[in-house]
Each structure stands twice: as structure tokens, then as C-alpha cells.
Structure 1
Amino acid sequence: MEAAEEGYREILELLISKGAYVSLVGDDCDTILHIACYGGEIETVKYILFLNAVDFNKSRGMKNRTPVMAAAYPGYRDVVELLVTKGADLSLVDDYGDTILHLACRGGDVSTVRFLLSLNEVDIDARNKKGRTAADIAREKGYRRVVRLLVSRGAH
């Protein structure tokens, strides 16, 4: 999992060739795919997807987040895009009621937010358990460019 997070694909391949289990989960229920998505190295994520060891829509890690949510928060747009092309479910929410758009706005990466909005699959005004929208979160974090983007796309 450390090799996956750091993007050390060659080390990861070596460990797996020597019998490392890729189906184990951490104390917080994160899978190796979650960990790779937190790290954001796309080639490592592609390799783990190739192994087909994790169902990325059913596996729920820390705070009940999916791997695509794990990539959205730090703003790894290329990883988010890859998982979307593979069929990642963007309608799921975490323990706080946050959608993938909430998480992307929490991280503040305009490119990731723009990509998610371009899919027309996320509810721009969805509210989490605290009643906050993605725009509320971006505003609270001081991400003006993200707020402007959301408002330009019709966020209230």
C-alpha cells in the first residue's frame, strides 16, 4: 500500500510478483486502489485497475468514500477521468453526505471541478448532511475561481 501511495509502480509490481496480497484493506477500510488514488500517480492506478482486484464502485474506504472520491479531493483530475471512463459511479455519497463534487470543491482544483460539471451527472446544488452545497464549501475554503465556475454553471 505504501508503494501504491507513493506511485512506485515497479516496486508494487515486484511485491505482487513475490506474492503480496492486493485484496487486503487498511484499518480505515481503504483498498490498495484507494491508496493509489490518494497518491494520484495515474500509471500506478492503471496497474491496479489492470489487476482487477478491487470493485471500485463497491469498495468503500475511509469515511465511506470510493476510490474516485479519493482522487477528487486532492484534485487528481486525470485519475478521476480514468475512473469515470472505467465506469465509476458519481452518484454515491460518503458518510457526511458529500458527493464527488463536494469533495472536489473541498480540494479546490478548478480543472477537476470543471471536468465533473462537464459530465452533467452531478447535482450542482446537492446538499450534504450539514446542508452545504459544493459552492458553500468552495466559498468557505476561499476558492474564488471554483465558486465563480459553479455560479457560471447555475449553482445557487
Structure 2
Amino acid sequence: EKIFLSPPLHYACQSGHLNVVQWLATQDGVDLNFKDDYGSTPLHLACTSGYLDVVQWLATQDGVELNGNNMFGYTPLHKACEESRMDVIQWLATQDGVDLNATDIDGCTPFYHTCEEGHLDVVQWLGAQDGVDVNLKDNVAKSPLHYACDKGHLDVVKWLATQDGEIGR
């Protein structure tokens, strides 16, 4: 049986301890892009947990991969969207180099995750960003509308329908 153990930096990031993150980053051998057994970097974990100060600090360090993928192909933005971390999403999505239409192994963009989670404010904000394709199809030809319908998020379904969604397909 395999034990999944992440480096201390990962724990500090997922717990939001910026002072610990900053100190650990100065230590020999610490890699800010190190991937745990799931392929997640410290930035993935900070985005998942919603610690904006940690996200901002990590993302502005030289060499930190803003679009790095974990084993599922999720970028840090995917993880923030999966957890509906609005402040993290708003900050990260406006940073140079962040790919708003990055796809995971299923062909889903971060926008898909917002629709699947059903938080209308996040869906509307991210959907309004330049370059975000709200009707993009995944690897099996499902759109964000399909995901919202599957989860029963009527308010998201209604909003997507106003965005030129293909309701009949």
C-alpha cells in the first residue's frame, strides 16, 4: 500500500500559512514547482484552498508555472474554479500568461468546472472574460451547458442559454 506524502511546502500552501511558505522557499532544495504524487504543485494547493495571499506570492515568484498540469491535466485555475474560489479566480485569470482555455485530460476548461459547481456569480464573471469560450466542447462533445444540466444548476443553465448555447443538441 502506497503512502502519499507531500513536502512540507505543500502542507503550508494548502493550509494558507504564507509566512511558513516564504521561509520554506528560501531553504536549499525547495522547488516551488515540485509535484506531489497527484502532480499538484504548491500553487495548485493554494488555489484549491483559496488562500489568495499565498497564491499571489507563489505566482509572482520567478519560474513558477502558472499553467502547470497535475495528473488530471488541471491547472491551478482549474482547481480554483473547481472549488469556486472567486477571489483567486479573479486574480489569477487576469495575470499575464494564464491560459483561460487550458484543457484537462477530458478536454474541460476551467469554465466547465465553474458550470459544474453551479455558482452563478463565478460562471458569469469567468464567462465574461475575453477569450473564454462558453460553448467549447470537451473530448466527448459535451459543453458547459451539459455539465450544468447534469448537476441541476437551473440558474447556470438559464444563463448559458443566453450565451448562444446549443440547447437542442
Same fold flag (TM > 0.5): yes
> 2:85 aligns to what?
76
Residue of 22, 37, 47 corresponding to 2:47: 37
Aligned residues: 155
Residue of 5, 21, 36 corresponding to 1:12: 21
- Measured in 2, the distance between the counterparts of 1:122 and 1:49 equals 21
- The structure having more radius of gyration, on CA atoms, is 2
> TM-score by structure 2 length?
0.83
Secondary structure of the structure 1 residue equivalent to 2:65: coil
Q: Which runs of 5+ in 2 are unaligned?
A: 1-9
Q: What are the within-5 Å matches in structure 2 for residues 136-155 of structure 1?
A: 136-155=146-165
How much does 1:45 deviate? 0.4
- Measured in 2, the distance between the counterparts of 1:52 and 1:106 equals 33
Residue of 84, 100, 104 corresponding to 2:110: 100
Q: Which runs of 5+ in 1 are unaligned?
A: none
Which digits, 9 at most, give the CA deviation of each residue in 1:57-106, with x for residues without a partner? 2x111311111111111111211121122121112211001112111112
Q: Which has the higher contact order (CA 8 A, sep 6+)?
A: 1
> 1:54 aligns to what?
64
Q: Which aligned segments of 4 or more residues in structure 1 are displaced greater than 3 angstroms?
A: 17-21
Which digits, 9 at most, give the CA deviation of each residue in 1:101-128, with x for residues without a partner? 1111122221221111111412222111
* Larger helix percent: 1
How much does 1:148 deviate? 1.4
> TM-score by structure 1 length?
0.90
CA-atom RMSD in angstroms: 1.6
